[in-house]
């Protein structure tokens, strides 16, 4: 389900003190206000912003009730710049660390028996060979998969959710687009995908910059 943040100006007449006892959601207005808070928080999480909830609520209260601001606009601009600069430094450090770890993993993994390294640098091992046909880039496939980082940490798994996923072959990361057309229906492979074929230098909310990803992929069906 998709949620949309309602402009804060619409809330001005509906705000109560955030420092009162925890409200019971026993009126339409309170449930509406809670919903808006949920939408705002979801947006912040999706953007990966690290915010202090108490300080943020204080600012909302001050603006919507007309109370004196605790920071000047100049101080807020400085705080925003400092936050961005700190984030960029952390991102750069993480990218360098992850690249070294990924390169080391690929170098060692490539020496193992049964590992095939393609021209792009992607590596795969056949766990179970299927007997069906191979998908084309325009096909849709259903798969089970488990994704881990080079340190063994699991970051995603359709198996854990108990539900395979279906998607077009040409609608996923480059590493998957390369490997899926090589797999036969019914096969299961372990695939190591360099960052350049995954989420690259930018990463996403779940993946840090330059992280090498490891997947066990089982190709269930071609649709």
Catalytic residue chosen out of the listed positions 105, 214, 215, 217 = 215
Q: Report pLDDT for 48.
A: 83
94 and 189 belong to one structural domain: yes
Q: Report pLDDT for 46.
A: 84
Q: Report pLDDT for 138.
A: 95
**pLDDT grade for 8, boundaries at 50, 70 and 90:** very low
33 and 130 belong to one structural domain: no
Is residue 199 part of the annotated active site? The answer reads yes
37 and 93 belong to one structural domain: no
82 part of a folded domain:
no
Is the pLDDT confidence value at 13 over 50?
no
117 and 211 belong to one structural domain: yes
Which residue among 21, 50, 65 closes a domain?
A: 65
Boundaries of domain holding 40: 8-65
Catalytic residue chosen out of the listed positions 139, 155, 159, 167 = 155
How confident is the model over 19-34, as pLDDT tens digits?
446 778 999 999 999 9
56 and 95 belong to one structural domain: no
212 and 106 belong to one structural domain: yes
Backbone angles phi and psi of 82, in degrees to 5:
-65, -40
108 and 22 belong to one structural domain: no
CA 40/CA 18 separation, integer angstroms = 15
Is the pLDDT confidence value at 7 over 70?
no
Contact 209, 94 (CB under 8 A): yes
108 and 216 belong to one structural domain: yes
The 10 Å Cβ neighbour count of residue 187 is 19
217 and 107 belong to one structural domain: yes
Is the pLDDT confidence value at 60 over 70?
yes
Is residue 159 part of the annotated active site? The answer reads no
215 part of a folded domain:
yes
Give the number of domains in the chain. 2
Is residue 155 part of the annotated active site? The answer reads yes
Q: What's the pTM value of the predicted model, to 2 decimals?
A: 0.76
Region 162-188: what's the mean pLDDT? 98
**pLDDT grade for 219, boundaries at 50, 70 and 90:** very high
74 part of a folded domain:
no
How confident is the model over 84-128, as pLDDT tens digits?
999 999 999 999 999 999 999 999 999 999 999 999 999 999 999
Catalytic residue chosen out of the listed positions 62, 103, 139, 156 = 156
Averaged confidence pLDDT in the chain:
91
Q: Report pLDDT for 205.
A: 79
107 and 142 belong to one structural domain: yes
- The set of long-range contacts for 63-71, using a CB threshold of 8 Å and a minimum separation of 24, is 63/8, 64/8, 64/11, 64/12, 64/15, 65/15
Catalytic residue chosen out of the listed positions 145, 207, 214, 217 = 145
Query: The domain that contains 206 carries what CATH number?
Result: 3.10.50.40
107 and 37 belong to one structural domain: no
CA 117/CA 99 separation, integer angstroms = 18
Q: Which two tokens stand for residue 208?
A: 């840090």
182 and 147 belong to one structural domain: yes
**pLDDT grade for 12, boundaries at 50, 70 and 90:** very low
2 part of a folded domain:
no
* % pLDDT > 70, the chain: 91
Is residue 167 part of the annotated active site? The answer reads no
1 part of a folded domain:
no
């Amino acid at each position: 389900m998709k949620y949309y943040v309602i402009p804060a100006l619409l809330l001005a007449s509906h705000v109560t003190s955030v420092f009162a006892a925890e409200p019971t959601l026993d009126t339409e207005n309170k449930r509406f206000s809670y919903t808006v808070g949920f939408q705002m928080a979801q947006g912040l999480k999706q953007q990966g912003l690290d915010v202090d909830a108490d300080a943020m609520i204080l600012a909302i209260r001050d603006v919507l009730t007309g109370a004196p601001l605790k920071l000047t606009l100049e101080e807020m601009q400085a705080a925003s710049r400092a936050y961005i600069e700190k984030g960029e430094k952390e991102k750069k450090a993480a990218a360098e660390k992850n690249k070294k770890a990924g390169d080391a993993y690929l170098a060692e993994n490539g020496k193992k028996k049964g590992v095939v390294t393609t021209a792009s640098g992607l590596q795969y091992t056949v766990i179970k060979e299927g007997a069906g046909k191979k998908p084309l880039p325009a096909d849709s496939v259903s798969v089970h998969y488990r994704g881990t980082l080079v340190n063994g940490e699991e970051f995603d798994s359709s198996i854990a959710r108990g539900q395979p996923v279906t998607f077009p072959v040409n609608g996923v990361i480059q590493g998957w687009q390369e490997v899926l057309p090589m797999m036969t229906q019914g096969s299961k492979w372990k695939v190591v995908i360099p960052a350049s074929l995954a989420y690259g230098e930018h990463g996403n909310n779940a993946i840090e910059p330059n992280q090498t990803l490891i997947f066990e992929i089982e190709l269930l069906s071609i649709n």
